Amino acid sequence: MATGIIYSDRYMDHITGFYHPESPARMSAVMDNLRNSTVWTSVQKIDPSSAETEIIQLVHPESHVSRVKDICLSGISPLDGGDTTVCADSYSVALLAAGGIVAGVDGIFSEEILNAFCVIRPPGHHAELTQSTGFCLFNNAAIAARYAQHQYGVEKVFILDWDVHHGNGTQHLFEDDATVFYLSLHQFPFYPGTGDSSEKGHADGLGTTCNFPLSAGSGDESYLDIFENSIPEIVASFSPDLILISAGFDAHARDPLANMYVSTDAFRSMTEVVVRLADEVCHGRILSILEGGYDLAALAESSEAHVRALLAARD
């Protein structure tokens, strides 16, 4: 089975203004590089459709969805915390981002593809239940998890978040839910201020949240030690039916918004570990979702390395 690349040119229509780091240029950097690489002839290209609002409401209440829509349609205006700039097209693009997630889940569970990389924007892991922050409107990873459970009866989902910023929204949405395991590696202390190792979930979800807060300056050795020596046992113990990756590449050594020293090669090695684990526990099912990454060249290189490792799962 193939590796899917899920993308639409309409993701460029989410205009965040001059100098905003989460810009349409991120899509161009990733896709131009993939199209010019040798991986392009080996992947299955998937053009998504917009998700129905009912799918967004598997995670976010209707009142929040409507508020985001109204703010976007009013023109360029920051959402909630002020760092999430939107334009009149941002709501429809966010629905299309969720549609990319739906296409990925559908493709995997219909066995048309083995795994997929969703090259989508706006990103999602900072989006809380009723608040859009950190460049995120709706929580794409959370929508993927709930859609898989709702549509395909998936019992357990593992979300692995290696974006350099802790995915506060994703953690909070599932921290009392034993059916979704959230694990994050991130720079700490750093935006958004959550993700201490003491945060392990609540109530029925106690023990299904795991954080690896890393000091500024951490690089390949720290990340790969966790991937080789900690994550495999955690994943095996939870035994998920699907693995989601919140694949931010802003821990890269060249990223301007963080202070970590992860290399392009390390992102490939991290992906290889996840591919091996997915093969062991969930028939290879991996849906990877682009989150951060703001040095365009590093983002493009890391995304290609990530896709190469996903493709290797077929061999």
Catalytic residue numbers read 126
Phi-psi region of 201 (alpha: psi -120 to 50; beta: other; left: phi over 0): left
How many CA atoms, within 13 angstroms, populate the side-chain half-sphere of residue 296? 13
Residues 6+ apart with CB under 8 A from 237: none
Q: Name the nearest CA neighbour of 151 among 112, 103, 100.
A: 103
Q: How far is CA 98 from the centre of its chain?
A: 11
Whether 293 contacts 254, CB under 8 Å: no
Q: How far apart are CA 205 and CA 190, in angstroms?
A: 25
Query: What's phi and psi for 173, nearest 5 deg?
Result: -70, -25
Of 94, 122, 57, 116, give the one whose Cα is nearest residue 242: 116
| C-alpha dihedral sign at 97, 99, 102, 107 | negative
Q: Angle formed by the axes of helices 25-35 and 296-312, to 10°?
A: 50
> From CA 311, how far away is CA 313, in angstroms rounded?
5
